[in-house]
Amino acid sequence: MEIVLKKGKEKKIKNFYLWIFKDEVENFEKVRKEPIQIVDVKSSTGEFLGKAFFNPKSHIVARILTRENEKINADFFKTRIKNAIERRKKLKIKSDAIRLIHAEADEIPGLIVDKFANYLAIQTRIAGIENFKHEIVKILTDTVKISGIYERNDMESRKEEGLEISSGELYGHVPRYVQIEENGLKFIVDLHYGQKTGFYLDQRDNRKKVKELIHKGDRVLDLFCYSGAFSIYCASAGAKVIGVDSDRSATDLARENAKLNQVNDKVTFLTADAFETVEQMANSGEKFDLIIIDPPAMTKTKKGAEGVKWAFHKLILNSLKMLEPGGKLVVSSCAYHISLDILQEAIRFASNDLGKRLRVIDVTFQPEDHPWILQMPETLYLKTIYLEVLR
């Protein structure tokens, strides 16, 4: 089967963009009742543009797999998977937890594979890659020395693809809790029920960078602390830390991680709403040397971006009230629709409201085991701004 693009829509595919939307397909009404499959993508003049996963149920109806006219089978995915893993071997990451496959950025749309010590967590986020799940599991077990693979297909986005939400063992036995090591620190990861695939691997570099900002005796507030990674990095550098998260299972695990790293006397974890807590602390005159704001994605749509900007504004406003000149603020967003410009605007509005002048120390993005494609803005999702209060 083939899908034909409307006139002019072939340009972005030729420029290495990988997604095709319903309104860009000339013959969509003709193919809309066809089953999920692999299709040839052609221009309005009949030029072959590539092969793609096709799913008429999704608003992204096609995702380019290759620009070559080649067979899409187990051997195709074996080559792509091995290439992705070989690239990771060249990275200088001091951890036994790493993202091995990062979907479109590794030329395997919809596939996420994270390695935690001797176990893999896998997500097949779209129907096309779901159809190859068993082949992919076989390739992974043949390629990577592991004891088990756990499926974390519990994300709501699968419903749009016509897929059921599911989780469980795909290979071997995978315990719920697995211990990993990162930059000399140890963390217990909940592979069965933890957020994302169990741990925020994409904040690894930021955790190390934040630790380098710490002076012994600093007071740190870690908002949306999850299982305590940022807090523990700061405490290991000699800071006194308060971590806040509304998820009790996360703060319970954070306390265990603090004990594991022998910093439990330096960290207090509160199971509470971060928005309410930061406002209460600001109103009571609390002061900190460093505040970290790292919420989960608060929107999955462009429509929700404006509301999230003002949510960030509120968090930042109350945080700045507790920072004296020389104090540091770290603001991070993992939502694609919250651009760097939107994040900067929220910070600027909050600082202007308080008459505080801020210096940008640094801006960082996702780490190199979570690569992004220049021609696909959607693959860049993590943005972090480091700031210092000047007055």
Same domain, yes or no: 320 and 270: yes
Establish whether 116 is an annotated binding residue.
Answer: no
Percent of the chain with pLDDT over 70: 100
> What CATH number does the domain containing 279 carry?
3.40.50.150
State mean pLDDT over 199-206: 98
Q: How many domains does the chain have?
A: 3
Query: In the structure encoding, which two tokens stand for residue 312, read together?
Result: 């960030």
Are 361 and 305 found together in one domain? yes
pLDDT of residue 176: 98
How high is the pLDDT of residue 342?
Answer: 95
Domain assignment of residue 251, yes or no? yes
Is 252 flagged in the annotation as binding?
A: no
Report whether pLDDT(391) > 90.
no
CB atoms within 10 A of CB 179: 15
22-76 pLDDT, tens digit each? 999 999 999 999 999 999 999 999 999 999 999 999 999 999 999 999 999 999 9
Residue 298 has pLDDT above 90, yes or no: no
Based on the domain organization, do 61 and 17 belong to the same domain? Answer: yes
pLDDT number for residue 190: 98
**Average pLDDT value for residue range 201-223:** 98
Here the tokens at position 209 are 């960078």
Q: Torsion over CA of 320, 360, 244 and 319, rounded to 10 degrees?
A: 10
Average confidence (pLDDT) over 222-230: 98
In a domain, 314, yes or no: yes
pLDDT at 273 over 90: yes
Give residue-wise pLDDT tens across range 139-149: 999 999 999 99
Q: How is residue 23 written in tokens?
A: 């309104």
Identify the pLDDT of residue 299.
84
**Residue 369 marked ligand-binding:** no
CATH of the domain at 10: 2.30.130.10
Task: Give catalytic status of residue 225 as yes or no.
Answer: no
- Tell me the percentage of the chain whose pLDDT exceeds 90: 97
User: Would you place residue 300 in the very low, low, confident or very high pLDDT band (cuts 50, 70, 90)?
Assistant: confident
**348 and 234 in one domain?**
yes
Gap between the Cα atoms of 178 and 201, Å rounded:
14
Residue 193 lies in a domain: no
260-184-222-335 Cα dihedral, nearest 10 degrees: -120
Tokens, residue 70: 């080649």
The answer to whether residues 255 and 370 belong to one domain is yes
Co-location of 163 and 215 in the same domain: no
Rounded distance, CA 104 to CA 113, Å? 12
Residue 150 lies in a domain: yes
The whole-model pTM stands at: 0.95
One domain, residues 137 and 233:
no
| Residue 185 is assigned to a structural domain of this protein | no
Q: What is the dihedral of CA 301, 306, 308, 310, to 10 degrees?
A: 180
Q: Calculate the average pLDDT of the chain.
A: 97
Residue 326 pLDDT > 90 = yes
In a domain, 190, yes or no: no
Q: Could you report the per-residue pLDDT of 155-180, keeping only the tens digit for each?
A: 988 999 999 999 999 999 999 999 99
Q: What is the 3-state secondary structure (H, E, C) of the chain?
A: CEEEECCCCHHHHHCCCCEEEHHHECCHHHHCCCCCEEEEEECCCCCEEEEEEECCCCCEEEEEEECCCCCCCHHHHHHHHHHHHHHHHCCCCCECEEEEEEHHHHCCCCEEEEEECCEEEEEECCHHHHCCHHHHHHHHHHHCCCCEEEEEECCHHHHHHCCCCEEEEEEECCCCEEEEEECCEEEEEECCCCCCCCCCHHHHHHHHHHHHHCCCCCEEEEECCCCCHHHHHHHHCCCEEEEEECCHHHHHHHHHHHHHCCCCCCEEEEECCHHHHHHHHHHCCCCEEEEEECCCCCCCCCCCHHHHHHHHHHHHHHHHHCEEEEEEEEEEECCCCCCHHHHHHHHHHHHHHHCCCEEEEEEEECCCCCCCCCCCHHHCCCEEEEEEECC
Both 123 and 253 in a single domain?
Answer: no
215 and 318 share one domain: yes
Please identify, among 178, 211, 234, the residue that sits at the C-terminal boundary of a domain. Answer: 178
Structure tokens of 137?
């599991």
Last residue of a domain, one of 66, 84, 99: 66
Domain interval for residue 8: 2-66
Separation CA 276–CA 274 (nearest Å): 6
In a domain, 192, yes or no: no
Output the CA–CA distances (angstroms, integers) from residue 55 to 107, 225, 283, 378, in the order listed. Answer: 18, 37, 52, 19
Q: Name the nearest CA neighbour of 14 among 32, 41, 36, 39.
A: 41
Are residues 174 and 305 both part of a single domain?
no
Whole-angstrom distance, CA of residue 335 vs CA of residue 221: 22
Amino acid at 24: E
Contact between residue 358 and residue 386 where contact means Cβ atoms under 8 Å apart: no
In this prediction, residue 302 has a pLDDT band, given cuts at 50, 70 and 90, of confident
Of the three residues 39, 66, 93, the one that is the final residue of a domain is 66
For residue 385, what pLDDT is reported? 98
Same domain, 27 and 94: no
Catalytic-role residue among 18, 84, 189, 334: 334
Q: Are residues 52 and 78 in the same domain?
A: no
Does residue 79 lie within any of the structural domains? yes
Question: The domain spanning residue 128 has which CATH number?
Answer: 3.30.750.80
